Amino acid sequence: MNGLSFLSALVAIIYISLGIYFYNLNKGESVNKLLLILCICFFDWSFAYIFWYSKEMIQTQYYPFINILGATGWSFYYGVIFHVSFEIVGLSSKIKSFYRKTLIYVPCTIMFIIYSMLRILKIDYYSLGFSIFNVTNFLITATYISIGLVLILRWGLASKIYREKKQAFLVVFFGAIAFILGIFCQNILPLLKLPTLYIAQIVSVFWVFGIFFAISKYDFLDIKSVYNIDKIMKNVNDTVIIVDNKNKITYFNENLQKFYKKSSNEILGSEIYDIIKFRFKSKKNDFTNCTIEKNGEEISVSVSTEEIFDNYGDRIGRLFVIKDNSQYIQIEKEKNKLRDILLKNDISYNLLINQSHNAILVHRDGEILFGNESATKLCGYISANNFIGTNIWNFIPDVDMKDLKLKYFNIINDKCSLTTFNGRILKSNGDMIEVENTSSYFEYGGQPTILSIMRDVSPEKKVKMLEIDVLEKTKLLDESLEMNKIITEFFSNVSHELKTPLNVIFSAIQTLGIYNDNSYESIIKRQRYHNIMKQNCYRLTRLINNLLDITKIDSGFLSLNFKNYNIVSIIEDITLSVVPYVENHEINLIFDTDIEEKIIACDPDRIELIMLNLISNSLKFTNAQGEIFVSIMDGTDFITILVKDTGLGMSKESLASIFDRFSQVDKTLTRNREGSGIGLYLVKSFVEMHNGKITVSSELGKGSEFVIKLPVRMVDTYLVEDSQYDINVEKIHVEFSDIYS
């Protein structure tokens, strides 16, 4: 590929790129389509010359077809230039008909056919010299392009707008350069049979660049992306029209076509007063007080006009916005009819509607057709005139809108007569209120409509909130009173628990004074009273220890010392260690297990307290000849420890509070069984600190059953397998201290 072939390829790319650019700026305009076609002609021409400049490429079998493709470019480009010029200067109406447009391209078509015949006959076009064909082709090309440039120049000179003058100058200047160079190189030199460079298709790029500069710098032909306004105007309910300085319509939205039922070709380029028949009531062009005529009928409209200026301050046209008032008049008539339907007379209107404390709304597709005074105030409006006609969705919070739209859709779809639901209203000042909404379907004017009656339930909500608040505070007060009662009972109980062993110790000390000799009887007596004092000291120790433990648990200072132990061995040793106490009361203690060894993480001291407390409780409430069962059952995740007796049992009411602090089945100070009511609370706390659970079941007269479930888990410490946990005999004495022989 030589230099000229490369240059032709480069301008071919430029032509097709600018052609696409011109077309995409405003796809709906005919001038854009013509500019695209012009660039395609130049592209075909340049593309063919890529091959024509290269001898190697001329020899290819595809060259004749490529040459014919190029012929379409250089045969039709001047016709397109001529056509574009008419569009630019606003004379498109002169060639509006199909026949006139066709006539422009007849010479171009003839030249194309002749050239194609020459190619078939293998006659070189440039070897003909001053032939009729060449001279005719030269004259047609020069005439078409000259007329086009002159038309654009006259348009620019005649315009009073600075911007249009600059546009015309740029287009004509660059077009003249391309025209002169092209004619000279492509036509005159070949006709004179002088050496030449066939570069007309290359220099034509000046003319295309001229159009590009005029567009980019001076908004030539107003070809700007702002014309995407079509997408916006489709959603505008009013009729929008733009006219030029000669009152010719240059833009309109589809509402104008719908209103007059005219095609786009009938409207575009016509004078606005030929399309719209304005009837001015006072003076001409007083658009504030006018109507328009349609099919002999006057229609009430509101017309807003505004002059349009370009960036250079030149007036380029006027914008018309026409609002059809007839629909609003019809809506007002419908409102009046609706009032007639709802209201028979002024008295019923005042009684049923205006004096109603409930908001009454009639709406269709979101538009509020009617609203009473309460509805107006509910939504934050002062006047019903400003309220009616607004959209109901303006008063619904965004989070509630989807749900409410579905409810209204179902009401219309199912023709529901009465549907009540709660919702919220967003007032015009931004306040939110709770409402009870009762909506019904009915037909008005043959169209589905909704009647909504809304009641402000905000005061009721506040009353309910106050009631809930009072109930909560009453509950807290009752709990506080109950707690005070429990504490009072506890202190009374603790006082009894402290006083009883002290009295016993004090009496034993006094009695010891009587038996101070060394006789056998005195020794026996002294030993007996010594044991009584010792047991009651254990009892005081137990009470003090329990009080300390409960204080530590409540304050969070009590922690367990977890190590891995054989829990079966610990439970068995504890059970066997209390057998003498149990047998002394003529009660049978039975231990059973389905597993001989189970290593888990536990605190053996707390396990011992748990078991001693449960067994001592069973011992207290089980009569002679009764039985106490201690058993262990293995599980995958938990190991179960069961303590069961055949004692007195408990009622269901007592079971509900058995693990509460200071709770006792028998709360009298004359009860047969001693205890502070803390033991089972500590048992439950220690079990839960092991991440376990404890439950109880009982039946009066048949005994009780305590079930402990401890999780099977290990801690990261040494494994205690064979060593036995040493039972603390002192602890047994302490825990069984309130059980008298």
Q: What is 246-287 written as a DSSP string? A: TSBEEEE-HHHHHHHT--HHHHTTSBHHHHSEEEESSSTT-T
Edge-to-edge, what's the strand order for the sheet holding 588-593? 588-593, 627-633, 638-645, 703-711, 693-699
Structure tokens belonging to residue 300: 């009430």
Q: C-alpha distances in angstroms, 94 versus 77, 99, 101, 286?
A: 20, 11, 9, 33
- Predicted pLDDT at 379: 87
- Which two three-digit tokens encode residue 277? 């028949």
Question: Taking a C-beta distance cutoff of 8 angstroms, is the pair 710, 693 a contact?
Answer: no
What three-state secondary structure class fits 447? strand
Report the distance separating Cα 11 and Cα 178, nearest Å. Answer: 13
Bridge partners, residue 533, by sequence: none
Let me know if 152 is exposed, middle or buried by CB neighbors in 10 A (0-12, 13-18, 19+): buried
How far apart CA 626 and CA 619 sit, in angstroms, is: 9
Cα 258 to Cα 237: distance, rounded to the nearest angstrom: 12
Q: How far apart are CA 98 and CA 326, in angstroms?
A: 40
Which tokens go with 496?
């009894």
Q: Cα 245 to chain center, whole Å? A: 49
The rounded distance, in Å, linking the Cα atoms of 112 and 677 is 119
How, if at all, do strands 588-593 and 693-699 pair? unpaired
Give the number of C-alpha atoms closer than 13 A to the C-alpha of residue 215, restricted to the C-beta side.
20
3 state SS for 654-722:
HHCCCCCCCCCCCCCCCCCCCCCCCHHHHHHHHHHHCCCEEEEEEECCCEEEEEEEEECCCCCCCECCC
- Could you report the average pLDDT of every consecutive run of 10 residues in the chain (741 residues)? 74 82 74 84 80 64 72 83 82 73 84 77 57 72 86 84 80 82 72 64 74 71 50 72 87 83 84 82 67 79 82 79 76 68 54 72 89 86 82 90 90 86 87 89 86 87 84 86 72 67 74 77 80 75 78 83 92 88 90 93 91 90 93 94 93 84 53 62 92 94 94 76 57 68 51
Distance from C-alpha of 290 to C-alpha of 286, rounded to nearest angstrom: 7
Residues ≥6 apart with Cβ < 8 Å to 494: 543, 547, 676
Q: Give, rounded to a whole angstrom, the gap between the first and last alpha carbons of the chain.
A: 126
- Considering only CA atoms, give the Rg of the chain: 54
| Rounded distance between C-alpha atoms, residue 360 and residue 362, angstroms | 7
Q: What angle do CA 637, 643, 645 make, to 5 degrees?
A: 150
Q: What is the pLDDT of residue 669?
A: 40
β-pairing, 290-294 vs 297-309, is antiparallel
**Helix H or strand E segment including 433:** strand 432-444
Pairing of strands 588-593, 599-602: unpaired
Q: What is the 3-state secondary structure (H, E, C) of 506-531?
A: HHHHHHHCCCCCCCHHHHHHHHHHHH
Task: Output the pLDDT for position 494.
Answer: 67
Decide: helix, strand or coil at residue 242: strand
Query: ∠ at Cα 312 (310, 314), nearest 5°?
Result: 60
Structure tokens at 354: 């205006």
Token pair belonging to 697 = 């079941």
CA distance 677 to 662: 4
The angle subtended at Cα 236 by Cα 234 and Cα 239, nearest 5°, is 95
List domains and CATH numbers for the chain: 3-222 (1.20.1070.10), 227-324 (3.30.450.20), 329-456 (3.30.450.20), 466-535 (no CATH), 557-735 (3.30.565.10)
Q: What is the DSSP letter of 699?
A: E
Structure tokens that stand for 556 in this block: 């969070």
Assign 198 to helix, strand or coil.
coil
The confidence score (pLDDT) of residue 662 equals 61
Q: Which two tokens stand for residue 731?
A: 């602890």
* pLDDT on residue 484: 74
Residue spans of alpha helices (H) in 514-603 = 520-555, 567-577, 579-584
Which amino acid does the sequence have at 436? Answer: E
The residue written with tokens 């489709």 in the block is 234
551-558, Cβ contacts within 8 angstroms, sequence gap of 24 or more: 553/682, 553/685, 558/689
How many other C-beta atoms can be found within 10 angstroms of the C-beta atom of residue 90? 15
* Per-residue pLDDT at 721: 46
User: CA torsion, points 264, 267, 269, 273, in degrees to nearest 10?
Assistant: -170
Q: Which of 435, 333, 423 is nearest to 377 (CA)?
A: 435
Of the candidates 1, 40, 51, 47, which has an alpha carbon nearest to the alpha carbon of residue 17? 40
Alpha-carbon span 74 to 115, nearest angstrom: 10
Considering only CA atoms, which of 166, 171, 176 is closest in space to residue 152?
Answer: 171
- Give 731's Cβ-side CA count (13 Å radius): 16
**Count of residues for the chain?**
741
> DSSP class of residue 391?
B
Q: How far apart are CA 219 and CA 316, in angstroms?
A: 12
